[in-house]
Structure 1
Amino acid sequence: VRDFAQTGTSWTFQGVAAPAKSSEASDAHALRVTPARANAAGSAFATSKQLVGGGFVAEFAFAITTPANVEVPCEGVDHAPATCSRRGGDGLAFVIQNADGRALGGGGGQIGYGGIVNCVAVEFDTFHDAHSRDPYHNHVAVMTRGAKAPALATHDAAIGTSVTVPNLSDGERHVVRVVYDPDFVPEDASHKSFRGGAYLLDLMRDYKHGLGTMKVFIDDLADPVLTVPINLAAFMDLDNGRAWVGFTAATGRSMQNHDVQSFSFRERVGGGFVPGVAVA
């Protein structure tokens, strides 16, 4: 997808999410998951469920911008008033969920996915929420509470987190690749990006399945910034291996434009990958 205004009925928008001009110089429309407006939340999911349980590759580009005329409160990470970092919020998430094709979670620090049952979210968090135990105001994390509990954008529910990422809200175009492989490769555990949060132990209680990996790449598509152990078929209640895929975002007192500029999804079939039916 490169023009979200010409995708017909292949996407379902909720909240404030809607197509928006990518730039004044282009006729193409990005997906604006939230505009730079306080206390807003939006979601957009491909209307047709995609095959996720057997593995997939999702690629997308996003830009997170704070317009010059938007007043942003001083963030608490840097406490020196003269040098405090003024960043918008709260972030964007790539979400796999099998709750509802029109699902939308909470605003602010919940980044639009908090509250959705039966989901896994890859969050691109741009605001430091101390009560969510965010490690830093600029980070990526894979979050889930399994098939039954509503998701929470708190790092008590993080499988893995990385702060070794580019500045996500610098207004530049960032290219992301998310790769899920249900088969674990032992060498992945020794990669510098490998993380396994304590919450993983709760998910694996009475666990009888093998683990795969999910890798997140940003800009450098050869070297992941985050690799986590996960099994979507075990941690989620899928529909014959399928679920909805899409994006959520939210703002609170701080605000940003959260724009997805392109998106592609390839399902793993046998030994290769084929385009997903709804997002070719």
Structure 2
Amino acid sequence: MRRSPALALLCVGVALASAARADVVARTFDGEANWTLQGAAAPARRNPTDDAVALRIAPARARSAGSAFAEKKQLVIGGFVAEFAIAMRSEGETKTCKTRDAGGACARGGDGMAFVIQNADARALGGGGNQLGYGGMTNCVVVEFDTHHDADARDPYNNHVAVLTRGATAPTLASHHAAIGTSVSVPDLSDGERHVVRVVYDPDFIAEDATHKSFRSGAHLLSLRNYHHGLGTMKVYVDDLAEPALTVPINLGAFLDLDAGRAWVGFTAATGERAQHHDVLSFRFRERFGGGVRPVDVTTP
């Protein structure tokens, strides 16, 4: 008996909805359990008096790069909420920024870090320096937290967030040629302070989102495969969890080759000649399927 396309789609939906949830919660990183670490990534204490252990993706050492991905793939196709706390600081900058440049901004280390959704390799690690540890990776979507201005990459400013992808097969460029959207409306990310980030992916597009001041949609979107199959939104919140700093149109299921709707989630970071610590202080990932996604309270480590 032939199964109708509608029935087949329904069966897939039921299978995904009924699959065991694989949510990830990490309030501290006492070891490598449940995470696959590459390059320079390792657990570390931010200072000797800290009880909690951070996941240091790249240390304040020149020309280092690292990655860390949760061992179990997460269901991303139906939407998700990722919440994490990060901190970036140069060696010796223990709390607030002590040294500022001529423009008054924090004299920063390099180069930044990224939250990555990818289905290429559990041990994926891209290039160092301005590649932020993800440049060169395939089949991924990246939310970057860039702290170092690179004119060749068309960075808008030395402190910004962006969502980038080149789809399933092309190597991702840590360049704003590959950006769907970028925002400079974020706190100083390299000040050594704890910054709370929320990334919300909703596969259902809400028209009101397109009129929000944070909405960005670059021409690069038109070069991605199957963008015409429908778009959802990805929102990035930094410290202000009521208003997104960046909202972009995106469709993970159309842009990436997923494993039954699943992919690895985690972080990359890198340094160049300038260096700083890139720490993940806590992490929580919640899967959703159908019915959209709404923000939830962040967990304080």
TM-score, structure 2 normalization: 0.83
* Counterpart residue number, 1:2: 27
> Using the alignment, how far apart are the partners of 2:243 and 2:107 within structure 1?
30
Instruction: State whether residues 2 and 30 of structure 1, in contact with CA within 8 Å, keep that contact through their aligned partners in structure 2.
Output: no
Instruction: State whether residues 60 and 263 of structure 1, in contact with CA within 8 Å, keep that contact through their aligned partners in structure 2.
Output: yes
* Counterpart residue number, 1:246: 266
* Counterpart residue number, 2:277: 257
Q: 1:166 is matched with which residue: 181, 187, 191?
A: 187
> Using the alignment, how far apart are the partners of 2:290 and 2:207 within structure 1?
21
Determine helix, strand or coil for the equivalent of 1:188. helix
> Using the alignment, how far apart are the partners of 2:290 and 2:108 within structure 1?
44
> Which structure 2 segments of 5+ residues have no match?
1-25, 94-100, 294-301
> Using the alignment, how far apart are the partners of 1:83 and 1:261 within structure 2?
27
> Using the alignment, how far apart are the partners of 1:36 and 1:66 within structure 2?
6
* Counterpart residue number, 1:276: none
> Which structure 1 segments of 5+ residues have no match?
70-77, 274-280
| Higher normalized strand content (fraction of residues) | 1
Instruction: State whether residues 89 and 191 of structure 2, in contact with CA within 8 Å, keep that contact through their aligned partners in structure 1.
Output: yes
> Using the alignment, how far apart are the partners of 2:36 and 2:284 within structure 1?
16
Q: 2:232 is matched with which residue: 202, 212, 218?
A: 212
Equivalent pairs: percent with the same residue?
A: 70
Number of residue-to-residue matches in the alignment: 262
Q: Does 1:138 align with 2:163?
A: no
Q: Does 1:56 align with 2:76?
A: no
Listed one character per residue, the Cα deviations across residues 81-135 of structure 1 (whole Å, up to 9, x for unaligned) are: x979631010010000000000000000000000111000000000000110100
> Using the alignment, how far apart are the partners of 2:282 and 2:106 within structure 1?
29
Q: Does 1:235 align with 2:255?
A: yes
Query: Highest Rg: 1 or 2?
Result: 2
TM-score, structure 1 normalization: 0.89
Q: Does 1:91 align with 2:112?
A: yes
Q: 1:110 is matched with which residue: 104, 113, 131?
A: 131
> Using the alignment, how far apart are the partners of 1:26 and 1:138 within structure 2?
27
Q: 1:34 is matched with which residue: 55, 58, 80?
A: 58
> Using the alignment, how far apart are the partners of 2:184 and 2:105 within structure 1?
19
CA 192–15 in structure 1, closer or farther in 2 if over 3 Å, else same: same
